[in-house]
Amino acid sequence: MDVQKIRENLISIKRGAKISQITVSRIVKSPRTGGDVFVSMTANYGSGEDTISDEMLSMEDAKVASLLLGKEVNILAHEQASASGLMSEEQMRIVTKKINNNFNQVIKEKYVER
């Protein structure tokens, strides 16, 4: 198979791919106390019964959904770290504000301002 044919096949597969599940995990560690918090969330799309569901996400939509879920998981992990005493409430506020801004910036640049 020549390179052009392979490239065309890959593009076709990517366009036709449907995503039914996204999982995002985050660990927040405290080097001082040795503790850590682990948060993992999974978002499911479609009925899960058939593999060609119109309810599943396209690759582009799955990328945006992954960023949205990632933002929430990261923020939640830091909130739990603060609640567990691994970081102060002030540190948590600073970090979660930065996470929120960073994810929003990526979403805006990649998917809103096209």
| pLDDT attached to residue 76 | 97
In order along its 114 residues, the chain shows pLDDT tens digits of 688 888 888 888 888 788 889 999 999 998 777 889 999 999 998 765 655 667 889 888 999 999 999 999 999 999 999 999 999 999 999 999 999 999 999 999 988 876
pLDDT at site 52:
61
* Cα distance between residue 30 and residue 82, in whole Å: 11
Going from N- to C-terminal start, the domains of the chain cover 19-112
Is the Cα dihedral 107, 97, 91, 68 positive or negative? negative
Model pTM score: 0.81
Write down the pLDDT at residue 2: 86
Closest to 89 (Cα-Cα) out of 103, 79, 99, 102: 79
Q: For tokens 């540190």, what's the residue?
A: 91
Question: Could you give the CA distance from residue 24 to residue 1 in angstroms, rounded to a whole number?
Answer: 36
